[in-house]
Amino acid sequence: MDLNYSEDEAAFRNQVRTWLEASIPPHLKEKVATYQELDREDLLTWHRILAKKGWVAPSWPVQWGGTDWNAVQRYIFEEECGAAGAPPLVPFGLAMCAPVLIQFGSEQQKKRFLPRIYHGEDFWCQGYSEPGSGSDLASLKTRAERRSDRYVVNGQKIWTTMGHFADWIFCLVRTDFGTAIRQEGISFLLIDMKSPGISVRPLILMDGGHEVNEVFFDNVEVPAENLVHEEGKGWTVAKFLLGHERLNTGRVGASKRELASLKRFAAARQRNGRPLTEDRRFADKLAELEIDLMALEITNLRFLDQLRGGKPPGAGVSMLKIRGTEIQQRLTELAMEAAGAQAVRVSDAEGPEAQFAARLGPRYCNFRKTSIYAGSNEIQRNIMAKMMLGL
């Protein structure tokens, strides 16, 4: 097993790092570093910069704009983006809908949607979860009835991230209501968010932010040509989408950057007249977190070495999601401890340090979700138990 990068891989990392340092707009880098909210234009600005460079969709086939990078190069790119403080790329179009279209879409669908996704001309969101149908996705109830050349959709989706920004939504809907097997009779539709009958209602979270929404469908007409794959075979599409590349869910690069930021912040804080980093109890927690992050990075490198040898990572890659999200949550917990009473959202916080501290409370609340989304950590453990231990 080789856990080192080759000379070519190290050179590629330097190339990416140099370009990122010169290309991330300073105001966006500042927003990311200080945990400020990114709006639609912020997200699309960075998307379009990467699209112009040709790096916005590394895993796509070259004919649609992919880079032809191997798995190690794609991992290095993601890690360097996180370490540099680049804004996130919204995954719903680039990393979710697009791979589905590449795998299952018609040529007409690919030509219509892929270039617009690539260039950031359409903003996408995901219509999976419903009230009572989260982890048990096959129990969804949103109906789509075929009427001639279109479907009529009725129902509700919930926790729709960035649905208030979206131009399009990809949805799982039920097209067969009589099947005894719940996974059958589900279809995958692409729906224009400007269609009559769609309404979006915000869900204001405990951190005060508007990130997720409820989406309601009231007799929404969808052209039948927007069906992806076959009618009633949407579960096949859904499984493909949910299993598409978990290697970067650990966010090692971003967590390393945030750990360094936490160290600087804690060093400037005082406890009993001394820097917080000299407090033994806090320093122990900080050291334990750093060790766990180093272990996660080594685990990532083990999977990368498997990919170099042409071996898929298998179910074990779920541990990256589990440990990565747990570390992300612990980072927010230690930051809250460091900030103390200042870690509350107040409008009159004065000075950069106080303003930074005031954003830590909302961030802590928001990061409770990391162990739930993209397949909850409990589900990831079940996958490993079944596939690796035979339980």
Find how far residue 281's CA is from the centre of its chain.
33
Any residues with CB less than 8 A from the CB of 351 and at least 6 apart, and which? none
Q: How confident is the model at residue 206, as a pLDDT?
A: 80
The reply to whether CATH 2.40.110.10 applies to domain 124-232 is: yes
pLDDT surpassing 90 at residue 267: yes
Any residues with CB less than 8 A from the CB of 340 and at least 6 apart, and which? 269
Higher pLDDT pick, 376 / 220? 220
∠ Cα 274 279 280 (to 5°): 150
Structure tokens of 377?
């950590």
Helices (H), the chain: 7-23, 26-33, 40-53, 71-84, 91, 98-104, 107-118, 234-242, 252-267, 280-308, 318-339, 352-366, 377-389
Average pLDDT over residues 193-199: 98
User: Closest by alpha carbon to 307, among 70, 109, 76?
Assistant: 70
pLDDT surpassing 60 at residue 247: no
Q: Hey, what CATH topology would domain 252-389 get?
A: Butyryl-CoA Dehydrogenase, subunit A; domain 3 (1.20.140)
Distances (CA, A) of 22 to 8, 25, 26, 295, 320: 22, 8, 9, 31, 30
Q: How confident is the model at residue 136, as a pLDDT?
A: 79
Structure tokens of 282?
């806090």
Spatial distance between the Cα atoms of 124 and 164, rounded to a whole number of angstroms: 10
Spatial distance between the Cα atoms of 100 and 320, rounded to a whole number of angstroms: 23
pLDDT surpassing 80 at residue 391: no
Letter for the amino acid at 32?
Answer: V
Structure tokens of 328?
């992300």
pLDDT surpassing 70 at residue 245: no
Q: How would residue 161 be classed by pLDDT, with cut points 50, 70 and 90?
A: very high
Structure tokens of 214?
């409820």
Question: What is the 3-state composition of the chain as percent helix, strand, coil, each rounded to the nearest 5?
Answer: 55, 15, 30
DSSP 8-state symbol, 87: P
Q: How confident is the model at residue 183, as a pLDDT?
A: 87
Per the CB < 8 A criterion, the answer to whether 9 and 76 are in contact is yes
Return the active site residues: 245
Spatial distance between the Cα atoms of 24 and 86, rounded to a whole number of angstroms: 6
Give the residue extent of every domain in the chain: 7-89, 124-232, 252-389
pLDDT surpassing 60 at residue 246: no
Per the CB < 8 A criterion, the answer to whether 209 and 36 are in contact is no
Mean pLDDT score across all residues of the chain = 91
Per the CB < 8 A criterion, the answer to whether 222 and 189 are in contact is yes
Q: What is the pLDDT of residues 62-89, one digit of tens each?
A: 999 999 999 889 989 999 999 999 999 9
Most confident of the ranges 67-81, 110-124, 176-190: 110-124
Spatial distance between the Cα atoms of 161 and 369, rounded to a whole number of angstroms: 12
